[in-house]
Amino acid sequence: MNDKKSFETNRRSLMKGAAAGAMMAMPAAAFAESSDLAAIRKAVVAGHDATVKRLQDWIANPTIAAEKRNVEGGAEHMAMLLKEAGFQKVRKVPTDGIPGVFGTLDAGAKSWMGIYFMYDVKQFDPAEWESPPLEGRLIDKPGVGKVIMGRGAVNQKGPETAFLAALHAFRASGRKLPVNIALVAEGEEEIASPHFHQVIADPEVQAAMSKCVGVLIPSASQGSNGAVSLALGAKGAVELQLIASGERWGRGPKLDIHSSNMARVDSPAWHLVQALSTLVKEDGHTPAVEGWFENVKPLTARQKALIAEGARQSSEEAVKKTMGVQRWIEDEDYQTSLERLASQPTINIQGLVSGYTGPGGKTVLPGRAEAKIDLRLVPDMTKEEAVAKLKTHLEKHGFGDIEVNVSGGYGPTETPEDSALVRAEQAVLTRAGITYSMVPRMAGSWPGVVFTGPPLKLPAAQFGIGRGEGAHAPNEFFVIESSNPKVAGIDEASVFFADFLYQVASMK
């Protein structure tokens, strides 16, 4: 039943069953271990309300690394969630920053699966939300279905809760997990994982992870049309702040002074603007830092073919509309924009802040100016290389006094198309009748390089069905019950993870 229709039928059956409070059998051929999976499905549906409650409670307890908000409470909550899901060993892993959490669930199976969780969320401003961001309210969203709206709903607590619900369902249905699980969670993903390598370097963590077939981060990978993007890698990211200050420069004022002094006192704000203007070319986007493209690998023919396929399967207009964008860079076509997204290293301004930032003006000459920057890296660039080149560039152009404060980052991730992990993903998607495309490289970033790079060198990928929107934005949501038959709700996403674990266990 490798077509789309079977998935839609299954999904509808499951939801009807859930709605009626009774278990509807799904076609037995839909999954590998049919009788076990049927029992698990039943348990997922029975646990639906508890799962939703678990997600809401988690949303209500946010850790925000940039604000050092709820550091211990978030780690405790994460550890509790793992214990409740059946992990026998759970412990916090201290770092120089926010602690990681590590857990193992040894089911006595032959193989181990690695799971990566992030328990932190992005900052938020409640004033921008139509529903309180920490309440995780259930909302009927026309054309989408019943959703949970809240910070972290889709990035990443919703998909992670769906994964945990699968583990709960294995236990509730008395089914043995087909693989053992080693799970590692971090609380600094949203500040680019500055200490996650320390978590992985923990001997016990490293020993457990090195036994794994691969590492998966539960993800809501379906688009609005139900199609899944299967990523074979991700760009690396470095977050840093460039700070010009009179104090450090030895020129200009230490604090803000009256702006009339611009006639005789150097301006850290102008200094920063001039430094920034050397970082990209006149086109406004191509990095102009010396040697930036030295280690950039061009896309392969296979990667370009995958992107072309992806371009055909998605709607340029829908993407532009969602983003509020009228044109791509240089008025290029959609496929070229997708190739750029996969292949181009970038230097982005996330934010500018200097002096007076309120309404209107204020006659000050600021003592400090800051640009918040992120770098996106492609193979074979490394974080260390990028930061070193940036610093050398600034020094060479007379801006050596500008502070380069690297707050986090990691290199790019690559996972081979023929790895067991990717083949297992393809198998369960095909079995569920879900259209998918292979994306050679996500433009977004995650710290998978700690798994794919040395010493572990494991395949690692974001994976899962279900859907949400608004990561890093107001009104973030995750679909609980989908009104679109092609899109999974949280229960189907859980069952799908269960099927994936069976699939992994069966891989050669």
Please list every residue from 44 through 63 that binds a second copy, using CB under 8 A.
none
| Binder of a second copy out of 274, 426, 430, 435 (CB under 8 A) | 274
The answer to the question of residue 356 lying near a second copy (CB under 8 A) is yes
The answer to the question of residue 242 lying near a second copy (CB under 8 A) is no
What is the spatial distance between Cα 39 and Cα 175, in angstroms, rounded to a whole number? 8
Residue of 387, 381, 415, 445 lying closest to 235 (CA atoms): 445
Site for a second copy, residues 130 to 189, rule: CB under 8 A: none
Q: Per CB under 8 A, which region of 101-109, 138-146, 332-340, 429-437 contacts a second copy? A: 332-340
Q: Are 472 and 224 in contact (CB under 8 A)?
A: no
Task: Count other C-beta atoms under 10 Å from residue 361's C-beta.
Answer: 9
The first and second tokens of residue 311, run together, are 């371009």
Q: Per CB under 8 A, which region of 144-152, 215-223, 266-274, 454-462 contacts a second copy? A: 266-274
| Binder of a second copy out of 96, 263, 298, 508 (CB under 8 A) | 263
User: Least separation, in Å, of the C-beta of 150 and a second copy?
Assistant: 18
Q: What is the DSSP string of 100-116?
A: EEEEEE--S-S-EEEEE
Task: Count other C-beta atoms under 10 Å from residue 69's C-beta.
Answer: 14
| Binder of a second copy out of 113, 144, 215, 240 (CB under 8 A) | 240
Site for a second copy, residues 281 to 300, rule: CB under 8 A: 282, 284-285
| Residue that has been written with the tokens 């969203």 in this structure | 141
The three-state secondary structure class of 89 is strand
User: Least separation, in Å, of the C-beta of 369 and a second copy?
Assistant: 6
Nearer to a second copy, 145 or 408 (CB): 408
Nearer to a second copy, 192 or 421 (CB): 192
User: Least separation, in Å, of the C-beta of 118 and a second copy?
Assistant: 13
Q: Where does residue 193 fall: left (phi above 0), alpha (psi -120 to 50 degrees), or beta otherwise?
A: left
Site for a second copy, residues 400 to 439, rule: CB under 8 A: 407-408
The answer to the question of residue 357 lying near a second copy (CB under 8 A) is yes
The first and second tokens of residue 148, run together, are 């949970």
Site for a second copy, residues 444 to 473, rule: CB under 8 A: 444-445, 471-473
User: Least separation, in Å, of the C-beta of 508 and a second copy?
Assistant: 35
What is the spatial distance between Cα 327 and Cα 317, in angstroms, rounded to a whole number? 10
Q: Per CB under 8 A, which region of 100-108, 140-148, 325-333, 420-428 contacts a second copy? A: 325-333
Nearer to a second copy, 176 or 472 (CB): 472
Q: What are phi and psi of 145, to 5 degrees?
A: 125, -155
Nearer to a second copy, 222 or 267 (CB): 267
The three-state secondary structure class of 136 is coil
Number of residues that bind a second copy (CB under 8 A): 94
The answer to the question of residue 122 lying near a second copy (CB under 8 A) is yes
| Binder of a second copy out of 33, 160, 186, 239 (CB under 8 A) | 239
Q: Output the CA torsion 75→81→87→91 (10° steps).
A: 10
Q: Are 484 and 144 in contact (CB under 8 A)?
A: yes
| Binder of a second copy out of 5, 211, 302, 362 (CB under 8 A) | 362
Spell out a b/e string for 249-278, using b for 16 or more CB atoms within 10 Å of the CB, else e. beebbeebbebeeeeebebbbbbbeebbee
Nearer to a second copy, 211 or 472 (CB): 472
Nearer to a second copy, 141 or 285 (CB): 285
| Binder of a second copy out of 62, 136, 233, 246 (CB under 8 A) | 246
**Cα Rg, the chain, nearest whole Å:** 24
Q: Are 349 and 276 in contact (CB under 8 A)?
A: yes
User: Least separation, in Å, of the C-beta of 233 and a second copy?
Assistant: 13
DSSP 296: P
| Binder of a second copy out of 364, 381, 424, 449 (CB under 8 A) | 364
User: Least separation, in Å, of the C-beta of 407 and a second copy?
Assistant: 5
| Binder of a second copy out of 32, 201, 265, 420 (CB under 8 A) | 265
Question: What is the enclosing helix (H) or strand (E) of 245?
Answer: strand 233-245
Nearer to a second copy, 433 or 448 (CB): 448
The answer to the question of residue 361 lying near a second copy (CB under 8 A) is yes
Q: Are 250 and 401 in contact (CB under 8 A)?
A: yes
Q: Where does residue 250 fall: left (phi above 0), alpha (psi -120 to 50 degrees), or beta otherwise?
A: left
| Residue that has been written with the tokens 């006094």 in this structure | 401
Nearer to a second copy, 295 or 344 (CB): 344
Site for a second copy, residues 66 to 85, rule: CB under 8 A: 66-67
